[in-house]
Amino acid sequence: MKIGFIGLGNLGKAMAKRLISDGIELIAWNRTIEKAKDLSCYLANNPAELVSNVDIVILNLKDSQAVEEVLIKENGIMQGECEDKIIIDTTTNHFEKVFDFYNILRNKRAYYLESPVLGSVIPASQGLLTVIVSGDKIAFERSKFILEKIGKNIFYLEKEGLATKMKLINNLVLGSLMATIAEAIVFAEESGIDKQKAIEILLSGAGNSTLLNAKKQKIIDEDFTPHFTNSLIYKDLDYLQDLAKYLKRPLLTGSIVKEIYAITLGKKLEHLDFSSIYKIFKNFKS
């Protein structure tokens, strides 16, 4: 079975490499073709060609606008042979836009699975992501084997829209925890405590988390080469704010945290890993 892959950013490329290393025959496409040059797989000329030559397509794109463009633009997926194909979308989407994607693909007799993932580049390269899936149960069962190659934990929430909502809720925790960890480390340094020692103590107490373990070296070295960027966590929290409006409830911590990440955009730090929020707290002056 041939698998297509569209979207070779930091996370997407790690996922694609994992699939290739696991023996999957992959066909890839990326808007910036240079990002695909070092992949040992066939490169399609456009999404329409790609979907016509595979059984399943995996998307990992920046946002819902990018997904829509890949689907409906000239030479997009909808212009290829789509019938009975499965589109697995691992993008973190807007919770309302996914319903458009379901309908677009239904009209072509294809299947759409919203399948956002939890985790970043390192777990992606090891096949250890968590995958949350909504959509047609038969399509899910048909494609589960490929999901198991990228994810250690797979949660199936059948009802359309739930997987995307859950991913946004997860990223409320992710963004808030990263900001709290960063501020705590800065407070420790300002109090005269060595940064590395403070992190060690946090990991032995209330700060012990997968996130701090993953980001501790980046904060120690202040090397914020991106795994998951500030611009992406800001986008996700913005989508979450729309979900809060839809649910007619306040987003208390999330709204504050979103504005903290907004500072990174103004300071031209949006391309850095979101652990660089540490720099915002460290350089903040009242």
Instruction: Please tell me the predicted confidence (pLDDT) of residue 36.
Output: 80
195-203 and 162-190 helices, crossing angle to 10°: 130
Instruction: Please tell me the predicted confidence (pLDDT) of residue 286.
Output: 58
Instruction: Please tell me the predicted confidence (pLDDT) of residue 93.
Output: 98
d(CA 96, CA 161): 8
Residue 273 DSSP symbol = B
Q: Are 69 and 91 in contact (CB under 8 A)?
A: no
Enumerate the H helices of the chain as residue ranges: 10-21, 47-52, 64-72, 97-106, 121-125, 137-150, 162-190, 195-203, 210-221, 230-247, 252-266, 277-282
3-class secondary-structure state, position 105: helix
User: What domains sit in the chain, N to C, each tagged with a CATH number?
Assistant: 2-159 (3.40.50.720), 164-282 (1.10.1040.10)
The one-digit pLDDT tens for each residue of the chain (286 residues) are: 899 999 999 999 999 999 999 999 999 999 988 888 788 899 999 999 999 999 999 999 999 999 999 999 999 999 999 999 999 999 999 999 999 999 999 999 999 999 999 999 999 999 999 999 999 999 999 999 999 999 999 999 999 999 999 999 999 999 999 999 999 999 999 999 999 999 999 999 999 999 999 999 999 999 999 999 999 999 999 999 999 999 999 999 999 999 999 999 999 999 999 999 999 999 987 5
Measuring CA to CA, which residue among 246, 244, 243, 277 is closest to residue 262? 277
d(CA 210, CA 192): 26
**Threshold 0.85, pTM exceeds:** yes
Residue 158 has a CB neighbour count (10 Å cut-off) of: 12
